[in-house]
């Protein structure tokens, strides 16, 4: 299974099982290295500040299935993984079914490595 299919299945599962509180203003997809390679995770924050990436450090929402191990080589460059994951998320979040079920109310969705700068997904 490739990264797009893996993330798509995860987002569909979250869409079917999660309700994000109305108080959440921004979603953050974090990337991090693990013993298995790389993982992506989802959190939500009650505040959003386009000039301060620290909003993503506020964890006011976490889904039960927060983490997903990504099917990528350990040797992949972090910038390549960030770019590929961003493109995948942008495409998947534009999908009407996912958008209407879980992600439709969010204007602020970001992605990044825990120790790096955020990039805008939406």
Q: Which domain holds residue 61?
A: 3-112
- In this prediction the pTM is 0.90
Mean pLDDT, rounded, for 79-97: 86
Residue 117 is assigned to a structural domain of this protein:
no
Residue 89 is assigned to a structural domain of this protein:
yes
Residue 121 is assigned to a structural domain of this protein:
no
Closest CA to 55 of 113, 121, 108: 108
Distance of CA 99 to the CA centre of its chain: 13
Asked if 31 and 112 count as a contact pair (C-beta separation under 8 A), the reply is yes
Residue 69 is assigned to a structural domain of this protein:
yes
- What pLDDT, in 10s, does the model give residues 18-45? 888 989 999 999 999 988 889 999 999 9
Residue 120 is assigned to a structural domain of this protein:
no
Residue 91 is assigned to a structural domain of this protein:
yes
Asked if 3 and 85 count as a contact pair (C-beta separation under 8 A), the reply is yes
3-class DSSP assignment, residue 121: coil
> Count of domains in the chain?
1
Residue 80 is assigned to a structural domain of this protein:
yes
Report how far residue 14's alpha carbon sits from residue 2's, in angstroms, rounded to the nearest whole number: 19
Considering only 40-49, 58-67, 96-105, which range has the smallest mean pLDDT?
96-105
- What pLDDT, in 10s, does the model give residues 42-59? 999 999 998 899 999 999
Residue 118 is assigned to a structural domain of this protein:
no
How high is the pLDDT of residue 93?
Answer: 80
Indicate if the pLDDT at residue 71 is higher than 70: yes
Indicate if the pLDDT at residue 101 is higher than 80: no
**Strand partners of residue 78:** none
């Amino acid at each position: 299974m490739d990264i797009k299919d893996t993330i798509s299945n995860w987002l569909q599962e979250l869409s079917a099982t999660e309700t994000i509180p109305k108080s959440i203003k921004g979603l953050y997809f974090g990337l991090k290295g693990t013993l298995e390679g790389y993982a992506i995770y989802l959190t939500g924050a009650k505040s959003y500040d386009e000039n301060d990436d620290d909003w993503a450090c506020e964890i006011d929402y976490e889904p039960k299935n927060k983490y997903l191990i990504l099917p990528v080589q350990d040797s992949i460059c972090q910038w390549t993984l960030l770019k590929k994951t961003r493109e995948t998320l942008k495409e998947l979040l534009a999908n009407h079914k996912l958008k209407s079920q879980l992600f439709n109310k969010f204007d602020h969705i970001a992605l990044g490595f825990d120790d790096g700068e955020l990039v805008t997904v939406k």
